[in-house]
Amino acid sequence: MKDIKPLDFRIEPKSALPVYEQIKQEIKLLIISGYLEEGDRMVPIRDLAAMLKVNSNTIVKVYYQLDIEGFLDSQPGSGYFVKFDSGNNREARQELFERITGEYISKALQLGFSLEKMAVEIKRRKKKSGPSKKGKEEKKTEGDLNKKKESGVYKK
């Protein structure tokens, strides 16, 4: 049996989003991102409740909903385990992306920032975090083409 992976996230008590919904989103993100994998055992209900300083019933509700949505599997006497159909990964990722993006845009607009200012900030953070996988692949492809041109293998 696999070890239980630690969950490292916090909830915002002042958020408009209910606590159970914040926890559910965080766990979904950990599953969709691949941190929690198929078959991983979840942190026991009481332990997660103590860690997040919430009522155990809140975690029961979260785990139950994630079980219904197909992200967890309840095994009586053993606990909850990650059960994620990778075929649903694209849809789940898109849904989570839209929700997170919507929250970001709403909060930024409430603070008085324009869409242009948000775009500038996104670009700044992207540069700061380095090239994406796609960017690396594009550079590699361009380099391969240049090598082929130099060797005479590449023809237009």
- Residues 41-96: tens digit of each pLDDT: 999 999 999 999 999 999 999 999 999 998 999 999 999 999 976 666 677 778 87
Q: Give start and end residues of each alpha helix (H) in the chain.
A: 19-32, 45-52, 56-68, 89-110, 115-129, 133-151
Given this model, what pLDDT does residue 5 score? 86
Residue 80 CA to residue 20 CA, distance in Å, equals: 17
Query: Is 27 in contact with 71 (CB distance < 8 Å)?
Result: yes
Annotated domain spans of the chain: 1-113
Distance of CA 115 to the CA centre of its chain: 23
CATH of domain 1-113: 1.10.10.10
Q: Which residues have C-beta within 8 Å of that of residue 22, sequence separation ≥ 6?
A: 11, 12, 15
pTM of the predicted structure, to 2 decimals: 0.64
